[in-house]
C-alpha cells in the first residue's frame, strides 16, 4: 500500500517538476521573445498612407535592402482617411510614419498631437516653395501641385464655347450640368478647390454684386453642378477631356472638372505627347497643395526618419512626376520635358492664399456653410 | 452537454456580432449624444445624405419586383422540367450571387458602355441598368427558394386537382395549387432580394452615379465617424442612417424568418425524377437566362486581354497577356495574384472551420427551441440574420475600436483577423441552409437508435450526419465561395492590415487611376481567377445537392 502511495507521490512530483519546467521555459520564452520583439520593432516600419503611387515596389525594396528595416503599409482611402485613422489610433503606437497628409489636414494633425519631430537629416535641398505652407519639424513635404479647373479643349474650342474667364461664368446656362467637382466633404482635391473659391471670392475684384463664395456654390447647385464623392469619379467618369473615356462606367457629361494644373501634362505623358485636356487658369481659383511625410507620436522615429530621408533623396523624389503624377519638392527639379509633360502643365497665375492655421480653425465652419449653400435651394 | 454547446455557440456568435456593435454605438452616442431625432434629421440637413432614404427604398422595391419577374419563370422552367447538364445550368444561374459586386459592376458597365450598347451617355438609362443589375445579382435567390418546391411536388396532386371543378383550367390550378404553394417561397425570396438591394454598394456607386444607398453614402463619410470634437456631423449621419437601415431590414428579415418557418413541407413530395418531364420550349427561357447570367462575367474575362494603346493621337485596343503578367508579378502597392489567392484560400478555410460548426450548432439550437420555447426560437432565428441588417460602417467602426482596445500591435500582426469578418457574414448563410434540413428530419430515427442503446456521438455520425450530408456540403461550398468573394467587411477589417484578398486586390487595381493602360486588364485578370475558382466550387457542390434539402440554397 505504502509502495503504491510512494509511487503515486513520486509520479506526481515528477509531473510537477515537468510542469514547472515547462512553465519556466515558457516564461523565459516570453522574456526572450519580448526582447526579440523590441529588437524586431526597431527594424519594422508601419506606414499609414493612401494610394501614393510613388511608393513603388523597387523603391520599398531598395529601402529595405539598404536599412534592413521591414516596411508594412496600411492603405487608407485618401488624405482625409489617413488623418481620421491617426486620430482613431492615437496613443496606440501602431503607426510609425504617416504619408499623404496635405496642407488642408496637417494643422489638424498637429493640433491633435499625433505627430512628433522627425530626426531626418540631409533635407536642405527642399525648395522654398514646398516649404511655404509649413516649414516646421513635424512634417516634411514630399510632393506638390496646384489643384485647379481643367477643361476639354476639343469641346470648348470645338463648339465655339467661350472659355470661362471667371468662376461666375460657370453659373451660366451654357454650363448647366457640365461641371464636375468632387465633394469637399469626402475628397481632398474637392476640399482644396472649396478653399480656393473662399479665397477667390474674398478678393473684391472677383465679386459679382458683392456676393460671396457660398452664393457661388448655391448658383452652381442651381446650375446642376455634378458633385462626386471623389476625384476619380469626377475625372474618370464625368470629364470628357481625360483618359476616363476609355474606362468602364464612363459617362462624359462634364467638360470642366477639378484636377491639378499639371493634369493635362500627365495626360500627354501617357498618350505619347497628345492631350485634349487643358488647364483653366482663372486667376485666384487654384490651391497650392503640398503632401507631407510625418513621424507619428509613439512610433519608431528612427525608422520613420530614415524613410523620410530616403523619400526626399534625389533618387526617389525626382521620380515623383512619373511615379506619382505630382511635382518633386526638391530644388532644381521640374516636370520632364518628354512627351509634352512640361509643355501641357501650367503654373497658375495666382493661387489661393489661406494659411494652414486659418484652414484648421475654420474648416468645419466652412464645410457647414458649403453644406448650407448646397441645400439652400431645397 | 447539448445545452452547454448550444449556450457556447450562442454566446460566441453574440460576442462576434454584438461586441463590435456595442463598441460602435457606445462611441457614436458619446460623440453625438443620445438624440435619435437629431440623427435622423441630420440625413435631411446634409447635402451628402439628402434624398438617400427615398432612393434606397424605391430602388430596392423596383429591384425586388423585377427580380421576381425574371426569377420565377426561370425557377418554374428549371424546376418543373428535366434538363441536360442541369447541375451546370444551376451553377451558372447561381454564380452572379456569389460574385463580388465590384466585378459585376465592371462587367455590366462594359456591356452598357461605349464599347457595348453605348447607353451610359443617356442618364435616363442608369436607373433601369441598376434595377436589371440587381435582378442579375439576386435572381439566384428566387430560383433557389422556389425551384425545390416546384421540382419535388408529387405530380399526382396536380392530376387529382385536374379532376376537380376548381382545377380544370390552367388559371384555376395556378390559383388553387401553385400560388398557395409558391407564395411563401416567393415572399421569402422577395424579402431577401429587398435586403440585398437595399444594402447594395458597388453596383449603385458605379451605375447610378450621383445617387447613393444608405450603405454607399455611409462609406463616403464613415472614416471620420466616432471622433469627438472633429467632424461630428458625420457621426450623426452614420447613426441616423444605421438606425433607419437596421429598422427596415430587421422587419424584412423577421418576415423572411416567419415565412421560412411556414415553408416546411406540408404537401406530399416525390423525387424530382418522377415529377419532371421534358419541355423543349423551355429553352426559350433558359438560354436567355444563361446568357444573362454569363454575359457580364464573360465581358470581365475578355477585358483582361484588351490592352489600350495610343498610336498617332488615336486610341486603339489590341489583344495581349500583359494584364495577366502584371497581375501575377504584382508590385508593392499590388501584391502578386498568387499571394492574394493564398490569403483568400487561407481565410476561406479558417472561416469554414468556425462558421460551419457554429452555424450547425445555432441551427440545431433554434430547432430544439422550436419544440420547447417558440418565442425564444423566433428571437434566435432573427438574431442569426442580424449581420444582414447591420451597416458595414457600424461594424467597421466597432471592429476598429475592438482592435484598439486589444493589444493593437498584435492585432495588426494577427493574420487570421480578416476571417472574423467572413465568419460574421457566412454564419447566417450556414444557418439558413442547414435549418430547413434539420427541421425536416424525422425524429423517429434518432429515438429508435436511442432505444437500441446507441450512444449520442455514434447516433450523430451514423444517423444524423448522413441525413444532413447534402446541406452540410452545400453550406461548406457556399461558405468557401462567400468567403473568397467577400469584399465589404474584409475591406473594413483588412484595411488595418497588410493582407490582401482577391476581391481587395481587384478593388486596389480599380482604385488606381486608369491612365495606365494595364490597370483595367490586370484587375480583370484577378477577377477572372476569382470567378473560375467560384465556378469550380459550385460545379462540385451541385453534385451533392438534392432539392429535398431545400433551404436557402
User: Count of domains in chain A?
Assistant: 3
Sorted by sequence, the CB contacts under 8 Å of residue B410 that are 6+ apart come out as none
Q: Are residues A303 and A235 in the same domain?
A: no
Task: Give the other-Cβ count within 10 Å of B291's Cβ.
Answer: 11
Compute the residue count for chain A.
378
Task: Specify whether the CB–CB gap between A311 and A293 falls below 8 A.
Answer: yes
Do A12 and A157 have their domain in common?
Answer: no
Report the pLDDT value the prediction gives residue A378, as an integer from 0 to 100.
Answer: 55
Distance from CA of B238 to the nearest CA of A (A): 14
Distance CA B178, CA B169 (A): 13
Alpha-carbon distances of A378 from A218, A373, B123, B213, rounded to whole Å: 11, 10, 22, 20
| A50 chain-B contacts, CB cut-off 8 A | none
Residue B484 φ then ψ, to 5°? -65, -35
Distances in whole angstroms, Cα of residue B428 to Cα of each of A24, B252, B361, B547: 44, 15, 12, 20
% of chain A with per-residue pLDDT over 90: 61
Which of the residues A154, A248, A270 would you substitute to probe the B interface, choosing the one with the greatest number of B C-beta atoms within 10 Å?
Answer: A248
Co-location of A196 and A318 in the same domain: no
Minimum distance, in Å, between the CA of residue A16 and any CA atom of chain B: 31
Q: Are residues A223 and A371 in the same domain?
A: yes
User: Counting runs of H as helices and runs of E as strands, what totals does chain B give?
Assistant: 27, 2
Same domain? For A19 and A48 the reply is: no
- Chain A residues lying within 8 Å of B224, measured CB to CB: 80, 84
Q: Are A241 and A276 in contact (CB under 8 A)?
A: yes
- Residues B83, B84, B89, B90, CA torsion sign: positive
- How far, in Å, are B83, B336, B346, B420, B522 from residue B342 at the CA level? 37, 10, 6, 17, 18
Please indicate if any CB of chain B lies within 8 Å of the CB of A164.
no
Q: Rounded distance, CA A314 to CA A331, Å? A: 10
- Dihedral (C-alpha) A148, A152, A157, A159: value to the nearest 10 degrees? -130
Nearest to B187 by CA among B317, B65, B347: B65
CB A76 within 8 A of CB A49: yes
Closest CA to B530 of B489, B496, B472, B482: B482
CATH at A274: 3.40.190.10
Chain B contact set for A64 (CB, 8 A): none
Which of A139-153, A181-195, A237-251, B259-273 is least confident? B259-273
Q: A367 and A303, same structural domain?
A: no
Please report which helix (H) or strand (E) contains residue B348, including its range: helix B337-372
Nearest residue of B to residue A81, measured between CA atoms: B223
* Helix extents (H) in A276-329: 301-311, 314-317, 320-323
**Domain B35-278 grouped into CATH 3.60.21.10:** no
Give the Cα separation of B384 and B359 in Å (integer).
9
Distance from CA of A242 to the nearest CA of B (A): 9
| Same domain, residue pair A167 and A237 | yes
Chain B nearest C-alpha distance from A23 (Å): 22
Other Cβ atoms closer than 10 A to B94: 24
Specify whether A96 is located in the same domain as A137: yes
- Residue A244's pLDDT is 85
- A77 → chain B, closest CA residue: B223
CA angle (A346 as vertex; A340, A348 as ends), nearest 5: 175
Q: Is residue A51 located within the same domain as residue A139?
A: yes
User: Does A378 contact B109 at a Cβ distance shorter than 8 Å?
Assistant: no
- The interface residues of chain A toward chain B in range 169-208, judged by CB-CB distance below 8 A, are 183, 185-186
Q: Give the span between the Cα atoms of A235 and A221, in whole angstroms.
A: 19
Decide if A274 and B313 are in contact by the 8 Å CB cutoff: yes
Of A73, A84, A368, the CB nearest to B227: A84
CA atoms within a 13 Å half-sphere pointing along the CA-CB vector of B184: 18
Give yes or no for a contact between A121 and A245, defined as CB atoms under 8 angstroms apart.
no
**CB pair distance less than 8 Å for B123 and A253:** yes
- Our separate counts of H helices and E strands in chain A read 13, 10
Could you read off the pLDDT tens digit of each residue along chain B, which spans 553 residues? 667 888 888 999 898 888 888 888 888 899 888 888 889 889 988 988 999 999 999 999 999 999 999 999 999 898 888 888 888 888 899 888 888 787 888 889 888 887 788 888 888 899 999 999 999 999 998 998 888 778 777 777 777 878 887 777 878 888 888 888 888 889 888 998 999 999 888 889 888 888 889 988 988 888 888 888 888 889 999 999 999 999 999 898 888 878 777 665 555 555 555 556 777 788 999 999 999 999 999 999 998 998 888 776 677 888 989 999 988 887 666 778 888 899 889 999 999 999 999 999 999 999 989 888 888 888 898 889 888 888 777 777 787 777 777 665 555 667 777 788 788 888 988 998 888 888 877 777 778 888 888 887 788 788 878 888 878 887 888 888 888 887 766 666 655 556 778 888 887 787 777 777 888 889 899 999 998 888 888 887 777 665 554 444 4
Cα separation, A85 vs B391, in Å, equals 19
| Candidate ranges A87-101, A223-237, B55-69; pick with highest mean pLDDT | B55-69
Mean pLDDT, chain A, rounded, equals 85
Tell if the CB–CB gap between A253 and B408 is shorter than 8 Å: no
**Residue B212 to residues B47, B137, B193, B207, B473: CA-CA distances in angstroms?**
12, 18, 18, 10, 37
B424 vs A189, which has greater pLDDT? A189
CA distance B496 to B404: 11
Q: How far is B289 from chain A (nearest CA, A)?
A: 24
Answer yes or no: is pLDDT of A196 > 50: yes
Number of Cβ within 10 Å of residue A44's Cβ equals 17
Distance CA A263, CA B96 (A): 38
Q: Does pLDDT of A20 surpass 50?
A: no
Query: How many CB contacts within 8 angstroms connect chain A with chain B?
Result: 153
Is B120 close to A249, i.e. CB distance below 8 A?
A: yes
Same domain, A100 and A130: yes
Contacts of A233 in chain B (CB under 8 A): 209
Whether chain B has a CB inside 8 Å of the CB on A376: the answer is no
Q: What is the ipTM of this complex?
A: 0.80
Pairing of strands A327-328, A140-152: antiparallel
- Please give the pLDDT value at position A28: 36
Residues A247, B514: C-beta atoms closer than 8 Å: yes
Least CA distance to A246: which residue of chain B?
Answer: B308
| B316 neighbourhood in chain A, CB within 8 Å | none
Sign of the dihedral defined by the CA atoms of residues B190, B195, B196, B202, in that order: positive
In the block, which residue shows the cell 408529387?
A: B154
Q: What's the domain range around A197? A: 146-288+336-375
Q: How far, in Å, CA of A227 to CA of A375, rounded?
A: 13
Residue B443: other Cβ atoms inside 10 A: 8
Residue A29's pLDDT is 37
Same domain, A188 and A307: no
Nearest CA in chain B to A108: B230
Tracing cell 502578386 back to the chain, one arrives at B336
What own/partner pairs with CB < 8 Å and gap ≥ 24 does A212-220 have?
A214/A369, A214/A370, A214/A372, A214/A373, A215/A373, A216/A167, A216/A168, A216/A171, A217/A370, A217/A373, A217/A374, A218/A373, A218/A374, A218/A376, A218/A377, A219/A168, A219/A171, A220/A170, A220/A171, A220/A179, A220/A181
Residues A25 and A83 in one domain: no
- Average pLDDT estimate for A199-208: 73
Amino acid at each position: 500500500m505504502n509502495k503504491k502511495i510512494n509511487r503515486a507521490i513520486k509520479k506526481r512530483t515528477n509531473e510537477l517538476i515537468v510542469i514547472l519546467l515547462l512553465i519556466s521555459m515558457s516564461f523565459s520564452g516570453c522574456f526572450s521573445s519580448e526582447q526579440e520583439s523590441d529588437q524586431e520593432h526597431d527594424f519594422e516600419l508601419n506606414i499609414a498612407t493612401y494610394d501614393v503611387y510613388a511608393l513603388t515596389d523597387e523603391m520599398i525594396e531598395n529601402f529595405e535592402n539598404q536599412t534592413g528595416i521591414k516596411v508594412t503599409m496600411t492603405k487608407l482611402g485618401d488624405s482625409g482617411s489617413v488623418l481620421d485613422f491617426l486620430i482613431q489610433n492615437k496613443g496606440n503606437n501602431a503607426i510609425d510614419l504617416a504619408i499623404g497628409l496635405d496642407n488642408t489636414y496637417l494643422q489638424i494633425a498637429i493640433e491633435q498631437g499625433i505627430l512628433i519631430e522627425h530626426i531626418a537629416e540631409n533635407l536642405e535641398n527642399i525648395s522654398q516653395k514646398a516649404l511655404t505652407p509649413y516649414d516646421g519639424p513635424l512634417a516634411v513635404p514630399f510632393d506638390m501641385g496646384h489643384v485647379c479647373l481643367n477643361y476639354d479643349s476639343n469641346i470648348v474650342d470645338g463648339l465655339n464655347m467661350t472659355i470661362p474667364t471667371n468662376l461666375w461664368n460657370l453659373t451660366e446656362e451654357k454650363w448647366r450640368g457640365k461641371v464636375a467637382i468632387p465633394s469637399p466633404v469626402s475628397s481632398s482635391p474637392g476640399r482644396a478647390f472649396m478653399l480656393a473659391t473662399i479665397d477667390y471670392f474674398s478678393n473684391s475684384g472677383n465679386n459679382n454684386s458683392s456676393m460671396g463664395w457660398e452664393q457661388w456654390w448655391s448658383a452652381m447647385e442651381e446650375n446642376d453642378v455634378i458633385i462626386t464623392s471623389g476625384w476619380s469619379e469626377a475625372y474618370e467618369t464625368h470629364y470628357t477631356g481625360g483618359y476616363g473615356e476609355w474606362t468602364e462606367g464612363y459617362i462624359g457629361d462634364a467638360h470642366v472638372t477639378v484636377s491639378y494644373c499639371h493634369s493635362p501634362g500627365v495626360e500627354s505623358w501617357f498618350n505619347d505627347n497628345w492631350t485634349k485636356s487643358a488647364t483653366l487658369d482663372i486667376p485666384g481659383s487654384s490651391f497650392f497643395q503640398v503632401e507631407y511625410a510625418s513621424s507619428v507620436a509613439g512610433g519608431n522615429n528612427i525608422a520613420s526618419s530614415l524613410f523620410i530621408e530616403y523619400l526626399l533623396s534625389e533618387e526617389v523624389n525626382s521620380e515623383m512626376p512619373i511615379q506619382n503624377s505630382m511635382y518633386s519638392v526638391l530644388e532644381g527639379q521640374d516636370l520632364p520635358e518628354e512627351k509634352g509633360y512640361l509643355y501641357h502643365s501650367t503654373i497658375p497665375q495666382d493661387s489661393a492664399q489661406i494659411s494652414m492655421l486659418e484652414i484648421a480653425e475654420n474648416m468645419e465652419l466652412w464645410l457647414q456653410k458649403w453644406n448650407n449653400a448646397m441645400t439652400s435651394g431645397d | 452537454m447539448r445545452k452547454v454547446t448550444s449556450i457556447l455557440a450562442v454566446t460566441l456568435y453574440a460576442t462576434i456580432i454584438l461586441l463590435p456593435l456595442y463598441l460602435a454605438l457606445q462611441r457614436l452616442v458619446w460623440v453625438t449624444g443620445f438624440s435619435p431625432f437629431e440623427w435622423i434629421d441630420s440625413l435631411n440637413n446634409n447635402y451628402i445624405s439628402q434624398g438617400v432614404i427615398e432612393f434606397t427604398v424605391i430602388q430596392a422595391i423596383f429591384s425586388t419586383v423585377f427580380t421576381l419577374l425574371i426569377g420565377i419563370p426561370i425557377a418554374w422552367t428549371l424546376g418543373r422540367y428535366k434538363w441536360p447538364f442541369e447541375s451546370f445550368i444551376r451553377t451558372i444561374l447561381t454564380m452572379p450571387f456569389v460574385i463580388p459586386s465590384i466585378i459585376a459592376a465592371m462587367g455590366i458597365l462594359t456591356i452598357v458602355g461605349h464599347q457595348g450598347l453605348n447607353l451610359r451617355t443617356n442618364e435616363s438609362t442608369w436607373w433601369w441598368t441598376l434595377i436589371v443589375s440587381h435582378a442579375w445579382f439576386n435572381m439566384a435567390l428566387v430560383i433557389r427558394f422556389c425551384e425545390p418546391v416546384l421540382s419535388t411536388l408529387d405530380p399526382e396532386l396536380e392530376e387529382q386537382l385536374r379532376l376537380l371543378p376548381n382545377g380544370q383550367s390552367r388559371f384555376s390550378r395556378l390559383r388553387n395549387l401553385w400560388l398557395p404553394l409558391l407564395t411563401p417561397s416567393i415572399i421569402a425570396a422577395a424579402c431577401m432580394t429587398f435586403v440585398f438591394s437595399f444594402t447594395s454598394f458597388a453596383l449603385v456607386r458605379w451605375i447610378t452615379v450621383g445617387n447613393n444607398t444608405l450603405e454607399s453614402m455611409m462609406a463616403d463619410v464613415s472614416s471620420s465617424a466616432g471622433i469627438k470634437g472633429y467632424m461630428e456631423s458625420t457621426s450623426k449621419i452614420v447613426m441616423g442612417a444605421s438606425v433607419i437601415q437596421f429598422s427596415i431590414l430587421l422587419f424584412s428579415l423577421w418576415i423572411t424568418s416567419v415565412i421560412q418557418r411556414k415553408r416546411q413541407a406540408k404537401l406530399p413530395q416525390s423525387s424530382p425524377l418522377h415529377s419532371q418531364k421534358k419541355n423543349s420550349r423551355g429553352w426559350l427561357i433558359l438560354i436567355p437566362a444563361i446568357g444573362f447570367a454569363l454575359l457580364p462575367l464573360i465581358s470581365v474575362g475578355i477585358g483582361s486581354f484588351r490592352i489600350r494603346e495610343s498610336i498617332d493621337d488615336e486610341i486603339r485596343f489590341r489583344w495581349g497577356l500583359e494584364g495577366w503578367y502584371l497581375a501575377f508579378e504584382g508590385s508593392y502597392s499590388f501584391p502578386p495574384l498568387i499571394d492574394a489567392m493564398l490569403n483568400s484560400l487561407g481565410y476561406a478555410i479558417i472561416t469554414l472551420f468556425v462558421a460551419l460548426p457554429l452555424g450547425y450548432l445555432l441551427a440545431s439550437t433554434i430547432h430544439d427551441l422550436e419544440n420547447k420555447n417558440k418565442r425564444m426560437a423566433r428571437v434566435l432565428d432573427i438574431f442569426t440574420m442580424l449581420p444582414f441588417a447591420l451597416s458595414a460602417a457600424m461594424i467597421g467602426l466597432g471592429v476598429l475600436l475592438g482592435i484598439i482596445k486589444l493589444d493593437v500591435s498584435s492585432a495588426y500582426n494577427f493574420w487570421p483577423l480578416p476571417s472574423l469578418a467572413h465568419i460574421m457574414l457566412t454564419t447566417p448563410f450556414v444557418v439558413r441552409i442547414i435549418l430547413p434540413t434539420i427541421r425536416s428530419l424525422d425524429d423517429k430515427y434518432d429515438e429508435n437508435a436511442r432505444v437500441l442503446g446507441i450512444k449520442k456521438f455514434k447516433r450523430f455520425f451514423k444517423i444524423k450526419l448522413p441525413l444532413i450530408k447534402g446541406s452540410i456540403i452545400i453550406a461548406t461550398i457556399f461558405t468557401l465561395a462567400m468567403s473568397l468573394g467577400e469584399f465589404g467587411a474584409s475591406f473594413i477589417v483588412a484595411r488595418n492590415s497588410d493582407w490582401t484578398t482577391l476581391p481587395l486586390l481587384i478593388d486596389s487595381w480599380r482604385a488606381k487611376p486608369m491612365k495606365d493602360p494595364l490597370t483595367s486588364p490586370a484587375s480583370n485578370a484577378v477577377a477572372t481567377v476569382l470567378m473560375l475558382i467560384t465556378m469550380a466550387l459550385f460545379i462540385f457542390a451541385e453534385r451533392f445537392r438534392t432539392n429535398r434539402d431545400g433551404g436557402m440554397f
